[in-house]
Amino acid sequence: MKTRSYRDLVAWQKGMDLVVSVYQTTRCFPREETYGLTSQVRRAAVSIPSNIAEGQGRGSPKEFARFLRITQGSLQEMETQLLIAERLCFVSPVALAPVMASAAEVGRIVRGLTKSLPDADWTN
């Protein structure tokens, strides 16, 4: 079955779920972090499904692969920011665990999607 829309992609769907989880998790961050870490981690999370959608919309496997690599970077940025929040005691390890598990799942799906693209040079 050919993908008609980015909304058909499991990577995008799981990415959207991850954004919701990140927003819910960051609600407990200190008020003084609203324009700091809270905003930064949310922007990184939003970039994940956004880059998947933009890449799929480019219509070229090579361009799609490039945007999926950008997605991986945003995912790792978001994970790092959440780990910083954990170290600063803004979020408990217990509350963070499901978000990190979801992030790992999205990462696996995005890597698999990238490898499945024809003519997409995975090494670059």
Residue 1: per-residue pLDDT = 47
Residue 122 forms part of a structural domain: no
Residue carrying the six token digits 């700091």: 36
Residue 4 forms part of a structural domain: no
d(CA 76, CA 50): 15
Average pLDDT over residues 95-119: 95
Residue 44 forms part of a structural domain: yes
Residue 31 forms part of a structural domain: yes
- Averaged pLDDT score across all residues of the chain: 94
Domain with 84 in it? 9-116
In a 3-state reduction of DSSP, which class is residue 28?
coil
Give the CATH number, domain containing residue 107.
1.20.1440.60
User: What's the number of domains the chain is made of?
Assistant: 1
Q: pTM of the entire structure?
A: 0.92
